[in-house]
Amino acid sequence: MTVTWTSGYNIDEATPLVEWGWKGHVKKLSPAGTLTFTRGSMCGAPARTVGWRDPGFIHTSFLKDLWPNTMYAYEYRMGHMLKNGSTIWSKSYAFKSSPYPGQDSLQRVIIFGDMGKAERDGSNEYASYQPGSLITTDQLIKDLDNYDIVFHIGDLPYANGFVSQWDQFTKQVEPISSVKPYMIASGNHERDYPNTGSFYNTPDSGGECGVPAETMYYVPAENRAKFWYSTDYGMFHFCIADSEHDWREGSEQYAWIEKCLASVDRNKQPWLIFSAHRVLGYSSNEWLANEGAFEEPMGRAHLQKLWQKYKVDIAFYGHVHNYERSCPIYQNQCVNSEISHYSGTVNGTIHVVVGGGGSHLSEFTKINTFWSLYKDHDWGFVKLTAFNHSSLLFEYKKSADGEVYDSFTISRDYKDVLACVHDGCEATTLAA
């Protein structure tokens, strides 16, 4: 488990540490690393000009050798040991350790994008850019006992170069992220800035060019400046791509995506999830429809063969601020007429837009898209529940009431993942 927090202490003033262990047992201390970033590491305005604010010091500690998924909760607190030997402590928090990869237990995952932040008193929100942010946050806080891990797939605070807004956002999600793994993807509002290597040449990050997100959020990427990574949660294997860097065939990221998808043992981890901030699959969003592709150009053309070859169950996207679910798709066709209960051979990937975390909502096109099974122009999030290796429940909930508005189940066995489908069959030989 990784713990990250912010303070005003550099390492020459105090030593950061985390005290942790099972509740009621002897605690141990773990060291923390300290990072910061400077105005000079911002790529442009306003982050480098009127939006700049010193972020203080960002401390990250790795709590290692956890017993997987134990019956005991772990508790922890962050501290700073001062030069006079005394230690200043935070309050205590508790978390449940993750299941062992492949372990059979009840595992519940929350996924959404584009949440943003807002003021509870309504001040400073004249633009009302993320009007659903607080209802999503509050619904997830209310439901803390009923899920295990969160994926916020890009566009976090929409600080857009006003760096203090990162503190506002991390404060807003702290009741969640202090007790659950809070995993992120990189969005355009984290990363994009002209002439900085982002795949899109837009100024959406306001000059941050990824630096605050890559410093404040630890993800198990080889290089956090290239924000793609894989992570496991029990029976789930996640491949989190970075749509703000080139994903096309031949790129460094494409090779990584293939490696990530190929490296999962589906007998142990049957539920294979792909995600990226922008819609690389399917969306009936108005502006994507007007461009004629119903996706970010060059998404499917390059990645579809990987989703198909490795039998990705579900692909999640944000960026488009609404909810939409597709049929299982193979070669741009629906391969299953079922709507709510999928069973047997894995023969297509279901594409889900879940970008209604809180930002201003996106309109759907009036064009009827044959692959679209459910659309919702509202704020909400997805919950995945793996009951065991054969049974998965998918639920879409509205942020406003926490009720389920769309759902389906998947029932199958390992042989159904291995089974030959379409043209994606493994080679065989007649030799005996």
Query: Which stretches of 244-303 are assigned E, i.e. beta strand?
Result: 271-276
Return all residues near 370 (Cβ < 8 A) that are at least 6 apart: 334
Nearer to Fe ion, 189 or 398 (CB): 189
Return all residues near 368 (Cβ < 8 A) that are at least 6 apart: none
According to CB under 5 A, which one of 187, 206, 207, 281 is a site residue for Fe ion? 187
| Torsional sign, CA 245, 319, 229, 225 | positive
The secondary structure of residue 40, as a DSSP letter, is G
Nearer to Fe ion, 79 or 116 (CB): 116
Minimum CB–partner distance for residue 226 and Fe ion (Å): 18
- CA distances (Å), origin 76, targets 21, 29, 34, 145, 298: 7, 10, 18, 18, 45
Q: Give the closest residue to 237 by CA, choosing from 248, 229, 249.
A: 229
Minimum CB–partner distance for residue 341 and Fe ion (Å): 32
What is the C-alpha separation between 5 and 59, in angstroms, rounded?
Answer: 5
Three-state secondary structure call for residue 249: coil
Minimum CB–partner distance for residue 174 and Fe ion (Å): 23
Minimum CB–partner distance for residue 313 and Fe ion (Å): 24
User: What binding mask, one character per residue, do residues 47-76 give for Fe ion by CB under 5 A, x or -?
Assistant: ------------------------------
Whether the CB-CB separation of 343 and 412 falls below 8 Å is answered with yes
Q: How long a stretch of residues is the chain?
A: 432
Nearer to Fe ion, 235 or 352 (CB): 352
Please identify the residue of the shown chain whose CB is closest to the bound Fe ion.
319
Nearer to Fe ion, 57 or 193 (CB): 193
According to CB under 5 A, which one of 7, 133, 188, 326 is a site residue for Fe ion? 188
Q: Which stretch binds Fe ion (CB under 5 A): 175-183, 242-250, 262-270, 318-326?
A: 318-326
Minimum CB–partner distance for residue 133 and Fe ion (Å): 14
Reduce the secondary structure of 162-185 to three states and give it as a string: CCHHHHHHHHHHHHHHCCCCEEEC
Q: Contacts with Fe ion in 343-382 (CB under 5 A)?
A: none
Cα Rg of the chain (Å, integer)? 22
What is the C-alpha separation between 297 and 167, in angstroms, rounded?
Answer: 34
Nearer to Fe ion, 202 or 390 (CB): 202
According to CB under 5 A, which one of 155, 313, 406, 416 is a site residue for Fe ion? 155
Q: Which stretch binds Fe ion (CB under 5 A): 127-135, 148-156, 371-379, 405-413?
A: 148-156
According to CB under 5 A, which one of 319, 321, 397, 398 is a site residue for Fe ion? 319
Nearer to Fe ion, 214 or 313 (CB): 214
Nearer to Fe ion, 190 or 232 (CB): 190
Whether the CB-CB separation of 315 and 307 falls below 8 Å is answered with yes
Question: Could you identify the residue written with the tokens 């404040």?
Answer: 216
The secondary structure of residue 196, as a DSSP letter, is T
Q: Which stretch binds Fe ion (CB under 5 A): 41-49, 140-148, 149-157, 306-314?
A: 149-157
Minimum CB–partner distance for residue 271 and Fe ion (Å): 26
- CB count in 10 Å sphere of residue 207: 24
Q: Which stretch binds Fe ion (CB under 5 A): 67-75, 187-195, 228-236, 345-353?
A: 187-195
What is the DSSP secondary-structure string of 337-368?
--SSEEESS---EEEEEE--SSSPPPPBPSS-
**Do you find a cis peptide bond into 46, omega within 30 degrees of 0?**
yes
What is the C-alpha separation between 303 and 318, in angstroms, rounded?
Answer: 17
- CB count in 10 Å sphere of residue 167: 18
Minimum CB–partner distance for residue 361 and Fe ion (Å): 13
Q: Which stretch binds Fe ion (CB under 5 A): 125-133, 154-162, 373-381, 405-413?
A: 154-162
Nearer to Fe ion, 14 or 352 (CB): 352
Q: Which stretch binds Fe ion (CB under 5 A): 54-62, 180-188, 326-334, 393-401?
A: 180-188
Nearer to Fe ion, 16 or 318 (CB): 318
Q: Which stretch binds Fe ion (CB under 5 A): 229-237, 250-258, 312-320, 373-381?
A: 312-320
Minimum CB–partner distance for residue 188 and Fe ion (Å): 4
Minimum CB–partner distance for residue 249 and Fe ion (Å): 24
Minimum CB–partner distance for residue 185 and Fe ion (Å): 10
Minimum CB–partner distance for residue 355 and Fe ion (Å): 7
Q: How big is the site for Fe ion, counted in residues (CB under 5 A)? A: 4
In sequence order, which ranges of 24-68 are alpha helices (DSSP H)? none
Return all residues near 39 (Cβ < 8 A) that are at least 6 apart: 47, 48, 52
Whether the CB-CB separation of 239 and 273 falls below 8 Å is answered with yes
The footprint of Fe ion (CB under 5 A) covers: 155, 187-188, 319
